[in-house]
Each structure stands twice: as structure tokens, then as C-alpha cells.
Amino acid sequence: MHDKEVSRVESGNNSNDATANEQIDDDLNRWLPITASRKAKWWYSTFHNVTAVVGAGVLGLPYAVSQLGWIPGIGMIIISWFVTLYSLWQLVNLHEHVPGKRFDRYPELGKHVFGLKRGYWIVMPQQMIVQVASDIVYMVTGGKSLKESMHTMFHWSRGIKQTYFILFFGVLQLILSQAPNFNSLKVVSFTAAVMSLSLGTIAFAFAGHSVALEIQATIPSTPEKPSKGPMWRGVTVAYAIVAFCYLAVAASGFWAFGNLVDDDVLVTLKHPHWLIALANFMVFLHVLGSYQVFAMPVFDMIECYLVKKRHFTPGRPLRLIARSIYVVVTMFVGMCFPFFGGLLGFFGGLAFSSTSFFLPCIMWLVSQKPKRWSFHWIASWLSIIIGVSITVLAPIGGARTIIISAKNYKFFN
């Protein structure tokens, strides 16, 4: 009898502990930037996705076409568009494929598909490489674009080094990084999306998958109206914009300059000065928002770790210190290694091809188990083959560009 009472007490204690932990997780989720607000509309998804996918890398697309030729170059852009749109559709549908549960973060979906520990360590490092690498490149791009804009319009500014422009961009990010959650960035993200339409700047072709689940987490969901409906509507509009930006800039840039085009097409432009200055300033405004969209999941992970594992108290002081350290680190790295073309190729091939091309497809194959030789089975395997090929080949060219650039580079020049 005594043993039964002890067992009943222990069972009750375990139940209380589980309830307490669930309450702690719920309270934490109401504070963390990804899940703090679930009031997003479908058009929030549009401009968050445009901001995430469309960035500074389109400036290198004419150069890529010049290296590959008209048909292979444009063909690769179109193939990449279709493949990543399909893999993004997979993520949108996997977000709530378990009834009553939402996978609000990429690693959470990974843990469900591959197992708790293995899934976390398969997905989390790859996502973080995309987020951090993108922010470093945006730091370089923001500073470089502002420098080009200022130098073109104001001769007195030509004595100011690029390092100081990156520093100024970093200071602005320190301020923007204190936005509490994704939805509070909607004005910044909308401005960035508008700037991408004004010039059509695309960075890391299709790297937005690494924040897709986090964007969808901000959309309300009920059994009658799941979040995948408005999320997919926003994605399709965003991808139509992306297609226009890719093809317009790649084709017109290569048509205008041919094999003489630089890895940043704006560098190739010489006249008129006002257009060069305006285009660079639009890039600067765009990457202001892009940096924050990619930084939010990093902030979310850091703050979750500090609260749950290190027992810090959630609040403004924690947010101020943790986020500021991250911004300063990415700024310092960007100031030390501002190799635009090389960074784009190296990090792009190494990181985004996994999270955008083949990781969603692997998750789909494991969790949904499509019938062999069915459409989804074939499409998933084709995406995996293309993505793995990019992962292997692209960083080689990027590393070569970095090595060549580094020969004549001085730190903080």
C-alpha cells in the first residue's frame, strides 16, 4: 500500500513538472521574436519573403550569365526558380502536417523528421550558416552600396574608407535589432521589398527558405483555416516578383555589357551618375531590411538558449546585450573580409543550396514517404541532385575569388 502511495505521489509530481515546463515554454514563446505575434496577414508573407529572397546578389547575375552564356545562364536561373518554389511548397505544407502542432522553426521540423538530437544537429548548423553568412554579406553590401552612392554624388566623401560606411550600416542595425518580433519589422520589410522592385536586387538566389517556417509562424492558424493557405498565397506573389527581378536584371545587364560586366553590375555602370547613386542607395535601403529578416531566427535561438539553458531573465536588457553582440560580430567580420563576389559564391553554394534545394525534399521523402516513381518522389530526388551539385561546385569558385582578392587587400582599408 505504501509503495502504491509513493508511486502515485511521484506520478503526480512528474505530471506537475511537465505542466510547469509547458507553462514555461508557453511564456517563453510569447516573448521570443518568432512566436511573440501570430497576427500576420498573407501580404506580410509576401514582403517578408521578397525581402528574404530578393537582395543584393542579382548584381552578380549578369556576370554569371557572361560566364555560362545566354542559354545555360538563363536556363539555370529558371531551373533554380522552379526547384526552389517546389521545395518551398514542401516547407509550407510540412509546417502543420501533424494535426494540432506547428513547427515554427526549421530545427523543430528537423527534430520531428530525423529525431530529437540528430534532427537538431542536422538542421540547426545549416540554418545558422545561412543566417549568419547572409548577414555578413548584407553588412558588406550595405556599406559598399552606401559608399558608391556617396562617392558618386559627393566628391568630398571620396576620402572616406569603405570600413566607415560598413560601420555606419552596423550602427543602424544595432537600432533596428531591438524590434521585438517579426511583425514589428513589417514597415522595414515592406520598404526593403519596394526597393527590390525599384532595382531588382537579389542576394543569395533563393536563400529565403531558411526563414520560411519562421515567417509562417507569425500567421494565425485554425483547423478550418490553416496557415499554409495565406502563406502560400504570399509566397506565390513573392516568387512572381523574384522571377521578374532575376530575368530582367540578368538579361539586361549581360545584353548591355557582355563579357565586360563585373561581378557587381553597378560597378560596371559609369553614367549617368544620378542613376548609379540612386541604384546603390536603393540597394542600401533594401539590405537594411534583409539583414533583420535573416537575423530574427538567430536572435530567437540565442535568446531561447540564454533563458532556458543559462536561466537569464527575459527582458529588454537581455535583448539589448545579446542582439548587439551579434550585430557587432557580423559587422567586424564584414569589415575584415569585404569580398562581395567571393562571399556570395562561397557562402551561397555552401549554405543556401542545402536549406533551399534539398533539405526540404529529404524531409518530405522521410516524413511523407511518397510512392516510388510518383511525381513528388521524382521531383524531390531531382532537387536533391541539383542542390548537392551546387553545394560541391559553387564554393570552389567563391573560394578562388576570395583568395585572388585577398592578395591585394589590406585590413580596414
Own/partner long-range contacts of 312-321 (Cβ < 8 Å, ≥24 apart):
314/28, 314/31, 319/178, 319/180, 320/178
Read off the pLDDT of residues 274-290 as tens digits, 9 standing for 90 and up: 878 888 888 888 888 88
Side-chain-facing half-sphere of 382: CA atoms under 13 Å: 14
Grid cell in block for residue 113: 523528421
For residues 17 and 62, what is the distance between their CA atoms, to the nearest angstrom? 58
- Supply φ then ψ for residue 160, to 5 degrees: -85, 125
Contacts for 301 with CB less than 8 Å, ≥ 6 apart: 124, 128
C-alpha cell at 66: 557572361
Grid cell 537569464 is found at: 312
- pLDDT tens readout for residues 356-392: 888 999 999 999 999 999 999 999 999 999 888 877 7
Exposure class string for 172-190: b at 16+ Cβ within 10 A, else e: ebeebbebebbbebbebbb
CA 395 to the chain's CA centroid: 18
- pTM, two decimal places: 0.84
pLDDT digits (tens, 9 = 90+) for 96-134: 999 889 999 999 999 999 999 999 999 998 888 888 888
**Number of Cβ within a 10 Å radius of residue 161:** 13
Residues 6 or more apart whose Cβ sits within 8 Å of residue 188: 176, 179, 288, 289, 292
Cell reading at 281: 542607395
Checking if the pLDDT of 93 tops 90, the result is yes
Output the pLDDT for position 228.
93
